[in-house]
Structure 1
């Protein structure tokens, strides 16, 4: 089988330049060779990046508190679903379920936890972690799509997405005078702007869909001349899927990003697209195809606007530190021994600092909570 770069080369050679969204989709999600679908560690010390759940179980425990609040506000229904998109290694699912088991047993008794995962390699990792966790094995179910939970709507529950939306394929655009152009991925030689370290180059052309222009019009945003930006149209498709299957419940989206005014400000002249390889930031998304993570900041303004169009009402938008503080993460310290020589105490205080203090992981992360409630 040819390598992934070769497969994409063949596609471009046969059909012409492709949108960056198509390139990113292949690079991350090709069935056998994509970054997320191929074997190998992606998250943690042995991978390419860290996520909040890998820091300490406290992150999952605080989410468990919020989910319990949602269950209580919904009238303590006799069945409650948590459906997590892109559950990574399964650590967050383990920590949430364990915290519910220990601290919120009434909710735990009626809980079914679904993991929405398309990667067979990641499913194996998740199963190994969860089947060896304190939570009961029968609490966890694996599905490929939200629709598989059952016919019709999810009656009561919470959909969770931690660092999911930033990995959706994005279109690249650039403002050229009065025109908004799209940047396509072509082969070196298709354009003068060719990086010798890659067989691919970015080629400017007309917009592949009018939705790209509508995206900026909807937000009353105009880019500076020459400014480059990303557009995540798949986020709306995903919100529609959630809204279409959640009758009564909540959606929690945790990711790094900003509002549209911040995201497309002039100081972000080159956009927010970034790549990670072995915990190093890589500038060029066109190299190491399938071997590095590619992400872009999430536009929380459009998640809110599109959500309202689809029947999802925003009830909370906070930075990750604000969210964790509101959930009482500092209360954990009061339950610890009053001395700092205890290694476990030091581990907990270090984790809290990493999650909530400036300079830690929480600086650019946001937590958006949306609620959906449709009458029968």
Structure 2
């Protein structure tokens, strides 16, 4: 993959590749991009864990919550999951949805937007090729819907641009080849959208490096446009601007993981590592408000789960066996809501559109 990127940059005038283009190639190149390769990415054999892979009860509870939310709003049983991954979330959501209302679940239409052929095959395998699931290669293929569009760890995988402070001025960072190596260089900011965002973002003076997620914002706009009536539920590793703009993050949040290890640089092994950043949720919240969405909830994942009723999922039992199904399920629930849990790192944004 590195050789392809080097040759691509050398064909460009000025031998400079913006970060968003580098990340796009490293993650989504049709043959050698990280997400397109035929290999596990999630779990012990992959490079990172997700909440659904660690605690199946998360997806099962979410399925029940989605079912109740659709029924309470008198919406049809239509769901769209953005970034379906290997299909584990969908399998768990379908299980919970069916447990909540088997009849309603029979009518369910479950769209999954997933670009990776490897993941598409995995989804079919994990879900048993469920006829209710309709896999789409891109958001553009999703029809206008009434229902719920939800995502879990979707927006943190979007390519971003990077700006750095040099002599007190913001410059655009990019990639240049030196021999067979990739190194970071800077140039004046040329993209007008980046300039506009910088003018509206209240950036503290101590920040030295910032990710500019233009593709993330554009994707969120497209998602809202696809929803005629219903809800948007966004779960991701992120925070609001007050927390995002912190001295401990003054050098940005862009990072890469391989074999569950944080790499020194995202330029080390393109195509072989997951590249991610911490989502600045205020950009999504503000975009939703601009486009006519009403915010129902913003906050931590644990609080969202508790308010949604996950404590009711605890199974009363007198079984002292820590390996019993009841003990295992209760332990998963506690892992989701108690201090120092995986939920501490995730935020939830719940917005509604045209709900009367």
- Which category of TM-score, normalised to the shorter sequence, fits these structures? over 0.9
Shift of 1:281: 1.4
Would you say the 8 A contact 1:115–1:140 is kept in 2?
yes
Instruction: Return the TM-score normalized by structure 1.
Output: 0.89
1:111 aligns with 2:101: no
Equivalent residue for 2:259? 278
Alpha-carbon deviations, 1:63-110, whole Å to 9, x = none? 1232123212322x4x32111111111011111111111122243132
Shift of 1:13: 1.1
Shift of 1:205: 1.0
1:125-164 alignment runs, 5 A limit: 125-131=122-128, 137-150=130-143, 153-154=144-145, 156-164=146-154
Alpha-carbon deviations, 1:207-230, whole Å to 9, x = none? 1312223223323224426x1111
How far apart in 2 are the matches of 1:300 and 1:285?
Answer: 23
How far apart in 2 are the matches of 1:24 and 1:283?
Answer: 16
How far apart in 1 are the matches of 2:19 and 2:140?
Answer: 28
* Alpha carbons of structure 1 residues 21 and 146: separation in structure 2 relative to 1, 3 Å: closer
Alpha-carbon deviations, 1:37-78, whole Å to 9, x = none? 111000011111110001222111221232123212322x4x
- Which residue, 187, 193, 206 being the options, matches 1:211? 193
Would you say the 8 A contact 2:78–2:110 is kept in 1?
yes
SS of the residue 2:270 aligns to: coil
Shift of 1:177: 4.1
Alpha-carbon deviations, 1:259-291, whole Å to 9, x = none? 112112222121111211111111210011100
Equivalent residue for 2:61? 62
How far apart in 1 are the matches of 2:66 and 2:73?
Answer: 11
Instruction: Return the TM-score normalized by structure 2.
Output: 0.94
Alpha-carbon deviations, 1:11-40, whole Å to 9, x = none? 111111111111001000001110001110
1:260-271 alignment runs, 5 A limit: 260-271=241-252
Equivalent residue for 2:340? 359
Equivalent residue for 1:193? none
1:181 aligns with 2:171: yes
Alpha-carbon deviations, 1:282-327, whole Å to 9, x = none? 1210011100000000011000111122222221112111111112
Shift of 1:176: 2.6
How far apart in 1 are the matches of 2:206 and 2:87?
Answer: 42
SS of the residue 1:128 aligns to: helix
1:306-345 alignment runs, 5 A limit: 306-333=287-314, 335-343=315-323, 344-345=325-326
Shift of 1:359: 2.3
How far apart in 1 are the matches of 2:254 and 2:122?
Answer: 28
How far apart in 2 are the matches of 1:219 and 1:100?
Answer: 40
Would you say the 8 A contact 1:86–1:161 is kept in 2?
yes
Would you say the 8 A contact 1:319–1:363 is kept in 2?
yes
Equivalent residue for 1:8? 5
Equivalent residue for 1:166? 156
How far apart in 2 are the matches of 1:186 and 1:353?
Answer: 47
Equivalent residue for 1:232? 213
Would you say the 8 A contact 2:156–2:236 is kept in 1?
yes
Alignment RMSD (CA, Å)? 1.9
1:21-60 alignment runs, 5 A limit: 21-60=20-59
SS of the residue 2:344 aligns to: coil
How far apart in 2 are the matches of 1:286 and 1:148?
Answer: 32
SS of the residue 1:200 aligns to: strand
How far apart in 2 are the matches of 1:175 and 1:313?
Answer: 36
SS of the residue 1:326 aligns to: helix
Would you say the 8 A contact 1:216–1:222 is kept in 2?
no
Alpha-carbon deviations, 1:156-189, whole Å to 9, x = none? 2111111010000011111234421111111127
- The runs of 5 or more residues in structure 1 that have no matched partner are 190-197
Regions of 4+ moved over 6 Å: none
Would you say the 8 A contact 2:230–2:355 is kept in 1?
no
Would you say the 8 A contact 1:223–1:264 is kept in 2?
no
